[in-house]
């Protein structure tokens, strides 16, 4: 049986996922372009396959309607914005993703970004490279009050990383987990209750937003000089309002790994008290390997069950 792999970096860190698929009897067609595919290229590559190990290329209605034989999309990653789930369901195409791999990778990046922001590591590095022996004064994470918006897999891992710093933890999530809250000494609240109390607010929500959760009104609720972090999805934060708040001093700093438009070319690039990274939350070797192995297992499991695996479509 022929399947395709569209993600351009598949099996680059280890050949194991590719070997696993071939050992299971699949003929694997790889992305020949070494980059994200266009719609036409996606249709051409998937024209004769029954399953795809997918990246971030568009798998919308315009593409899926040209692939009548496609039965399975196994997305390497968590985000499903590039897949038309309604169209896939209509056409009987099973869709899966790999949410476990990025959990610790994103949580660790959040910690790295926050510590860099607090201790002004980018500024110190840049000054030293300019030949300046400058020593910017930073702040501690220890003992601060941190608000976590979104307490799913990544949010919980993030909280566990924070605990040795003896921070005070608050959280906003409609699905409350009282046992976890007791374990980590965390207090739940509404957004309006949490924002004014926190020194640091970090966003770890799942899914794509229809509108920003943190806009001008919410920023005005936050403590003067507070820090804001977004490692969820671009669009949860009004980036123009954030840039204004950073320039005015209403907020003391920010760290973003995700943006409404990517690649990012907006005004935050010119704001000094912000750390920006190009959506690298899952870019850790161990994370990449686990996601690829999980996607390969989905393909094998799907066809070993006659194309009728158990489980629910992602939402």
User: Annotated catalytic sites, by residue?
Assistant: 233, 262, 279
| CA atoms of 69 and 126, how far apart (whole Å) | 53
SS (H, E, C) the chain: CEEEECCCCCCCCCCHHHHHHHHCCCEEEECCCCCCCCHHHHHHHCCCCCEEEECCCCECHHHHCCCCCCCEEEECCCCCCCECHHHHHHCCCEEECCCCCHHHHHHHHHHHHHHHHHCCHHHHHHHHHCCCCCCCCCCCCCCCEEEEECCCHHHHHHHHHHHHHCCEEEEECCCCCHHHHHHHCEEECCHHHHHHHCCEEEECCCCCCCCCCECHHHHHHCCCCEEEEECCCCCCECHHHHHHHHHHCCEEEEEECCCCCCCCCCHHHHCCCEEECCCCCCCCHHHHHHHHHHHHHHHHHHHHCCCCCCCCCCC
What does R_g of the chain's alpha carbons equal in angstroms? 21
- Contact of 190 with 170, CB cutoff 8 Å: no
**Cβ–Cβ under 8 Å, residues 146 and 167:** yes
- Cα–Cα dist 205/273, whole Å: 24
d(CA 82, CA 74): 12
């Amino acid at each position: 049986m022929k399947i395709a792999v569209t993600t351009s970096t598949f099996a680059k860190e280890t050949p194991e996922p590719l070997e696993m698929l071939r050992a299971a009897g699949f003929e694997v067609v790889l992305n020949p372009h070494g980059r994200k595919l266009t719609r036409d290229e996606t249709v051409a590559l998937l024209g004769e396959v029954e399953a795809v190990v997918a990246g971030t290329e568009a798998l919308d209605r315009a593409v899926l309607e040209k692939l009548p034989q496609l039965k399975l999309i196994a997305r390497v990653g968590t985000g499903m914005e590039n897949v038309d789930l309604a169209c896939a369901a209509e056409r009987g195409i099973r869709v899966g993703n790999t949410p476990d791999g990025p959990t610790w990778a994103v949580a660790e990046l959040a910690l790295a970004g926050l510590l860099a922001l607090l201790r002004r590591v980018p500024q110190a590095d840049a000054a030293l490279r300019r030949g300046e022996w400058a020593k910017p004064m930073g702040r501690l994470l220890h003992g601060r009050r941190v608000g976590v918006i979104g307490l799913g897999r990544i949010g919980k891992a993030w909280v566990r990383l924070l605990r040795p710093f003896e921070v005070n933890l608050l959280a906003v999530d409609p699905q409350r987990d009282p046992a976890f809250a007791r374990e980590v000494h965390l207090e739940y609240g509404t957004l309006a209750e949490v924002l004014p109390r926190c020194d640091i607010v970090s966003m770890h929500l799942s899914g794509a937003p229809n509108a920003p959760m943190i806009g001008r009104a919410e920023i005005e609720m936050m403590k003067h000089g507070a820090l804001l972090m977004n490692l969820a999805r671009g669009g949860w934060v009004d980036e123009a309002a954030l840039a204004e708040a950073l320039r005015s001093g209403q907020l003391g700093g920010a760290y973003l790994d995700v943006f409404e438009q990517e690649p990012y070319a907006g005004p935050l690039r010119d704001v000094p008290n912000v750390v920006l990274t190009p959506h690298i939350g899952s870019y850790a070797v161990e994370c990449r390997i686990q996601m690829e192995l999980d996607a390969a297992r989905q393909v094998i499991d799907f066809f070993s069950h006659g194309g009728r695996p158990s489980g629910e479509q992602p939402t």
